Amino acid sequence: MCGIVGYLGHKKATEVLVEGLSKLEYRGYDSAGVAINTKENLEIRKFKGRLSVLSDDLEKNPINGGLGIGHTRWATHGEPSDVNSHPHFNKDKSIAVVHNGIIENYLELKEELQNEGYEFLSQTDTEVVAHLVDKYYKGNLLDAVYKATEKLRGAYALGVICKDNDKELVAVRKDSPLIVGLGENENFIASDIPAILKYTKKVYFLENNEFVHIVDNNVTVFDMNKNIVNKAINEITWDVESASKGGYEHFMLKEIYEQPNAVKETLIRRLDNNKCIKLDDIKLTKEDLEKINKVYIIACGTAYHAGLIGKYAIEKFANIPVICDIASEFRYNNPFIDNNTLVILVSQSGETADTLASLRYAKENGARIMSITNVVGSSIARESDDVFYTWAGPEISVASTKAYTTQVVSFYMIALDFGMKKEIITKEFYDKTIENLKSIDKKIEKVLSQEDYIKEVTKTLNKKDNAFYLGRGLDYLVAMEGALKIKEISYIHAEAFAAGELKHGTIALIEKGTPVIAILTQENLLEKMISNIEEVRARGAYVIAITKENHKEVEKSADKVIYIPDICDNLSTVLTVIPLQLLAYYAAIQRGCDVDKPRNLAKSVTVE
Ligand code: AGP
C-alpha cells in the first residue's frame, strides 16, 4: 500500500524523500510525488509511474528546501495518474497532504465541501483532507489537522505541511502505520522503518490517534485530547533488507501475518453502516441478476482454489449454478457462454495471461464480465464490466497467502449480496453471516498465535517426500490449496483428495509414516472424516488434523491436532488455510528452500 516519508532538517529534503521512498518500493506503487517548502511557496511534483520519473525530474529541475513530504501511491480511489498522485493540496497550494489509508466517508465530505465552494481536481479520497485542513486553518496547522481528523472516518496516516512555516511538519495516524524517526537536528516521519534507516535508528512507534508536531528540532507527540504523550525511543537493530520485511524473515511470513488486516480491509470497505454489503463498484442490478442463469469462475493456481469456494458460496447463498474452471483449460472445454452468463475472473495480479485470454474469449461470446483482483488498473480490471478489488495490499512472495483469504472473503460477500438481492437467503442468515465475517480477523489472529506449535508439528514432515491432504466438502477445497502451497515452496510432493475417494485407489500409497494432513470442520461430515482418518492410520499414516476447538475427540484419532476457533461451517475456509500456510512455510525453511522465490516460478505468469 501507499508509502509516506516526511522530512524536516538541514539536508536537501528532496534527496531524503526520494531515498526514503525508494526503500518503500517493496510495498508496490503506481505513482510518486513530493511537496517541498521552498520558503516562498510549496512546490509539488508528482507523476504516474516509477519513482525514477520523479527523481529524474528533480534532477533536471531541483527544488531547494529542508521541509517536505513524499509519497508512493498504490491506487485505491481513482486510477493511477499524475493528478491522482499525492501530495494533494488546497486551492492556493499553501497546504499539502500525503495519506495512506482510506477515508470511508469521503463522498459525504466531498459533497459538503463542494457546497461550500471547494473544487476538487482528483478522484481520490485524500483530497478532502487537504480542503478540510484549509477550511480549519487559521494560522495554527496542528489545530487545523485536529479539527479535520474529527470529521474523518476510516483509516489514515497523514503528513501535512504548510507554506507559512518552513520549520513545521504535522502528522497523525489511525489504523494505518506511521513512525517518527529521530535524528541529529533532523526528524522524519515514515510509513515504515526502511525509509529512514539510512539516517537514524531511533524511532517512535505511533499508536492510533496520536498526533506528531515537529517544529525546528523538536518533536512532540499528542493524544487525541491534545495531551502530551511521553513516547519511548526504540532503537532499531535490523538492517534495511530485513526492515522492508517488517522484521519478518521472509515476505511470505509477513504476508501470512498481514491476513487479519487484509481480510478486514476487504470487508469493511464494502460494509455500509458496518451492517450491509454495498458493492459500489459492481453495477449488476437485481434485474441483471434475475437474468443470469449460470456463472463461470475462471482462474489459475491459488486463485482457482479461491474460485472453488466461490462456486460453493454462490450456489449455496444465491442458488445460481456455477462452473469453476482452470483458465488454461476453459477456452478449450466448449464453454456454454451466452448473454445470460456471468463470468468471474479471479487474479491477484490481474495480469495472468490465461485468465486474461479467458476474459477476452468470454467477452467476445457475450458474457457479462466481473473480476476479483488485487491490482488497481491491471489489464483484467480494465477489461472487466465490474471489478471487485480485494484491497489486500501488495503481495510480494511468489506463494499466495493473503490473496487467497481476501479472494475467499470477496466471494462470500458477492454471494451474500446476490443471495439477498435474489431473495434466496433470509435477512437473519445474511446478518449473522456478516457478523461472523466481521469477527474473522480476530480468529485468524488466534490461529496465528499458535505459530510455535505449528512449527513444531512441521518437524514431523522432515525428510518426507510425499504428503496427502484430505477433507470433505469445503475442507477438501482448502486441502487443495494446502497441497499446492507445500509443493511450490518446499518441493514436497503433495496431493489433496476428497477423503471418501481415497479407498478407490490412492490409499495404496499409504505406508508407515506417510504424512496425512486431515481437515475436518464440517459438522455433518465430521464422523465420516474421523472414519477416513482411522482408515489411513490403520495403514501407518502419521495424521495431523485441523479441526474446530470444540472437537477435542479428534485427539483420539490423530497424532497431532491443530485447532481453529469455533466458526460457522460456511466460513471455516478462511481459518483452516492459515495452519496450512504455516506448515508449508516451515517445511520449506526446514529443507533450506528459497521461500519467497521458489525454483521455476514467477509471481505473475504472463505467458500462456
Ligand atoms: C500460488 O501460490 C501461486 N502464486 C499461483 O498459483 C497464483 O495463484 C497463480 O499463478 C495465479 O496468479 P494470479 O492470481 O496473479 O492470477
**Which of helix, strand or coil describes residue 278?**
coil
Q: Decide if 432 is catalytic.
A: no
Residue 166 Cα to ligand 1 midpoint, Å, equals 47
Q: Ligand 1, closest atom to CA 348?
A: 14
Residue 297 Cα to ligand 1 midpoint, Å, equals 15
196 lines ligand 1 (CB under 6 A): no
Q: pLDDT tens digits, residue range 72-84?
A: 998 878 888 999 9
Q: How confident is the model at residue 273 (pLDDT cuts 50, 70, 90)?
A: confident
397 lines ligand 1 (CB under 6 A): no
Smallest CA separation from ligand 1 atom 5, residue: 301
For a pocket test of ligand 1, which of 255, 298, 300, 603 has the largest count of ligand atoms closer than 8 A to its C-beta? 300
Going along the chain from its start, the domains and CATH numbers come out as 3-242 (3.60.20.10), 250-438 (3.40.50.10490), 449-602 (3.40.50.10490)
302 lines ligand 1 (CB under 6 A): yes
Question: How far is residue 98's CA from residue 93's CA, in Å, rounded to a whole number?
Answer: 13
- What are the Cα distances from residue 180, in Å, to 172, 212, 361? 10, 8, 51
Question: How far is residue 560's CA from residue 542's CA, in Å, rounded to a whole number?
Answer: 9
Question: How far is residue 524's CA from residue 473's CA, in Å, rounded to a whole number?
Answer: 10
Catalytic residue selected from 2, 162, 300, 324? 2
Longest dimension (CA), the chain: 81
Work out the average pLDDT over 184-208: 92
Using the predicted structure, report yes or no on whether residue 289 has a pLDDT greater than 80.
yes
Q: What is the pLDDT of residue 204?
A: 94
Q: pLDDT tens digits, residue range 457-513?
A: 999 998 899 999 999 999 999 999 999 999 999 999 999 999 999 999 999 999 999
Question: How far is residue 120's CA from residue 128's CA, in Å, rounded to a whole number?
Answer: 8
Please confirm whether the linkage preceding 260 is cis (ω < 30° from 0). Answer: no
Q: pLDDT tens digits, residue range 544-559?
A: 999 999 999 999 999 9
Sheet containing strand 202-205, edge to edge, reads 42-48, 31-37, 67-73, 3-8, 187-190, 179-182, 202-205, 234-235
Q: Ligand 1, closest atom to CA 604?
A: 15
Question: How far is residue 438's CA from residue 483's CA, in Å, rounded to a whole number?
Answer: 28
206 lines ligand 1 (CB under 6 A): no
Provide the grid cell at 537. 492410520
Provide the grid cell at 279. 458493492
Listed range (142-146, 239-243, 594-598) with the worst mean pLDDT: 239-243
For a pocket test of ligand 1, which of 305, 344, 400 has the largest count of ligand atoms closer than 8 A to its C-beta? 400
348 lines ligand 1 (CB under 6 A): yes
186 lines ligand 1 (CB under 6 A): no
For 445, counting Cβ atoms within 10 Å of its Cβ (0-12 exposed, 13-18 middle, 19+ buried), the class is middle
Q: What is the pLDDT of residue 224?
A: 95
Which residues are CB-neighbours of 608 under 8 A, at least 6 positions away? 328, 353, 354, 357
For 375, counting Cβ atoms within 10 Å of its Cβ (0-12 exposed, 13-18 middle, 19+ buried), the class is buried
For 402, counting Cβ atoms within 10 Å of its Cβ (0-12 exposed, 13-18 middle, 19+ buried), the class is buried
Which residues are CB-neighbours of 522 under 8 A, at least 6 positions away? 472, 473, 474, 475, 529, 569, 572
Q: What is the pLDDT of residue 274?
A: 77
**174 compared with 165, residue with greater pLDDT:** 165
Q: Which residues on adjacent β-strands are paired with residue 296?
A: 323, 343
355 lines ligand 1 (CB under 6 A): yes
Apex 412 CA angle, 407 and 417, nearest 5: 125
Q: Ligand 1, closest atom to CA 301?
A: 6
Work out the average pLDDT over 426-453: 97
- What are the Cα distances from residue 67, in Å, to 139, 184, 203, 548, 581? 18, 15, 19, 54, 44
Using the predicted structure, report yes or no on whether residue 283 has a pLDDT greater than 90.
no
407 lines ligand 1 (CB under 6 A): no
Smallest CA separation from ligand 1 atom 8, residue: 302
Q: What is the pLDDT of residue 393?
A: 81
Work out the average pLDDT over 258-270: 92
DSSP state of 175: B
Residue 510 Cα to ligand 1 midpoint, Å, equals 30
Q: How confident is the model at residue 246 (pLDDT cuts 50, 70, 90)?
A: confident
Helix intervals (H) in 118-187: 127-136, 141-151
Q: Ligand 1, closest atom to CA 603?
A: 4
Q: What is the pLDDT of residue 608?
A: 62
Provide the grid cell at 475. 475442507
Q: How far apart are the first and last CA of the chain?
A: 29
Provide the grid cell at 539. 495403514
DSSP state of 499: G
Q: What is the DSSP string of 380-449?
A: HHHH-SEEEE-------SSS-SHHHHHHHHHHHHHHHHHHHHTT-S-HHHHHHHHHHHHTHHHHHHHHHT
Helix (H) or strand (E) holding 189: strand 187-190
Provide the grid cell at 538. 490403520
- What are the Cα distances from residue 41, in Å, to 12, 67, 93? 16, 11, 8
Catalytic residue selected from 167, 294, 597, 603? 603
301 lines ligand 1 (CB under 6 A): yes
Q: What is the pLDDT of residue 516?
A: 97
Question: How far is residue 168's CA from residue 145's CA, in Å, rounded to a whole number?
Answer: 13
Q: What is the pLDDT of residue 353?
A: 86
Helix (H) or strand (E) holding 586: helix 573-590
Q: Which residues on adjacent β-strands are paired with residue 95?
A: 162
Residue 156 Cα to ligand 1 midpoint, Å, equals 30
**597 compared with 335, residue with greater pLDDT:** 335
Contact (Cβ atoms closer than 8 angstroms) between residue 41 and residue 106? no
Q: Decide if 568 is catalytic.
A: no
Q: What is the pLDDT of residue 1?
A: 64
Q: What is the pLDDT of residue 25?
A: 77
Q: What is the pLDDT of residue 241?
A: 64
Contact (Cβ atoms closer than 8 angstroms) between residue 27 and residue 395? no
458 lines ligand 1 (CB under 6 A): no
Provide the grid cell at 432. 449473522
DSSP state of 504: G
